[in-house]
Structure 1
Amino acid sequence: MKTQIKALAIATSLLFSASVLAEIAIIVHPSNGDTITQDDISKLFLGKDKSFPGGAPAVPINQGGAIGDEFNEKALNKSSTQMKAYWSKLVFTGKGTPPKDAASDEEAKALVAGNPNLIGYIDASKVDGSVKVVLKL
């Protein structure tokens, strides 16, 4: 009986891990012709750059939850706790404003599809023709 419970626990954790480690698509408006690197993404989402490589204004859209945590780790090399501390310090000193938040992949996709100045991220399986993928993590 204990062996079956262990096997079930392992199978459940593997299934959960697979869903958390989904591929993340960095998305922009389809009209955006810029080539965007992971370094560009890091600078935009950390508030160090405020424009796309081509010079157009760039406004990052963030998400919370598992996808936000995974994005922080993969794109910014920071934990969610580190990101909260980072933005708290910048906001407190008046040196920055954190990215706007979207409540879901669908909201992030709709926002980016409707505004050429936005950049966001969603689960790669949710991408459709309304947005353009510039990088996958």
Structure 2
Amino acid sequence: MKKLLLAAFAFASSVCIADIAVIVHPATADTSLDEVSRIYMGRAGGLMPVNLPEGHPLRDQFEQEVLGRSPAQMKAYWSRLVFTGKGRPPVEVDSVAAKIEFVAANPNSLGYIPASEVTDQVRVIATIAN
């Protein structure tokens, strides 16, 4: 039983670690990774951030590596901003495919996806390598 749990954990951990591509609409200007972080934290405007669902491994990885916060810290952060009326959290979509479609259809949005799933519908402005 322990071996099965260890194997499952090892598989789940390997699935989470992927190169992350930060994407925008092809007509959108470049944005620095620092600016991407500020946008996802609600500290900068201009582009609409798009998130994956809470608990999605790629979202957790993005929050840890790019925003420097755990998923629990991000949930608390946005709860506080929403409660005080000082911010609106990123738009949330159900899947990577839905995020690509959303960003491709909305010139003022940005998102993150596995680098292996980039299509010609969007443009990569940064890659976070693992």
TM-score (norm 1): 0.85
Unaligned runs of 5+ in 1: 52-57
Equivalent residue number for residue 39 of structure 1: 34
Aligned partner of 2:26: which letter?
Answer: P
Q: Distance in 2 between matches of 1:80 and 1:15?
A: 20
> Is residue 2:127 matched to residue 1:136?
yes
Q: Distance in 1 between matches of 2:28 and 2:64?
A: 25
Among 100, 106, 113, the alignment partner of 1:109 is: 100
Q: Distance in 2 between matches of 1:92 and 1:10?
A: 40
> Is residue 2:19 matched to residue 1:30?
no
The list of structure 1 runs, each at least 4 consecutive aligned residues, that deviate by more than 6 angstroms after superposition, is none
Unaligned runs of 5+ in 2: none
What CA deviation, in whole Å up to 9, does each residue of 1:25-61 have, x standing for no partner? 1100011232x2221111000010002xxxxxx1110
CA RMSD of aligned residues (A): 1.6
Among 60, 67, 82, the alignment partner of 1:76 is: 67
1:73 Cα offset (Å): 0.5
- Max Rg structure: 1
Structure 2 residue matching 1:130: 3-state secondary structure: coil
Task: State how many pairs are aligned.
Answer: 126
Structure 1 residue matching 2:106: 3-state secondary structure: coil
Q: Distance in 1 between matches of 2:45 and 2:64?
A: 21
Aligned partner of 1:133: which letter?
Answer: V
1:9 Cα offset (Å): 5.1
Q: Distance in 2 between matches of 1:33 and 1:103?
A: 26
Q: Distance in 2 between matches of 1:118 and 1:72?
A: 18
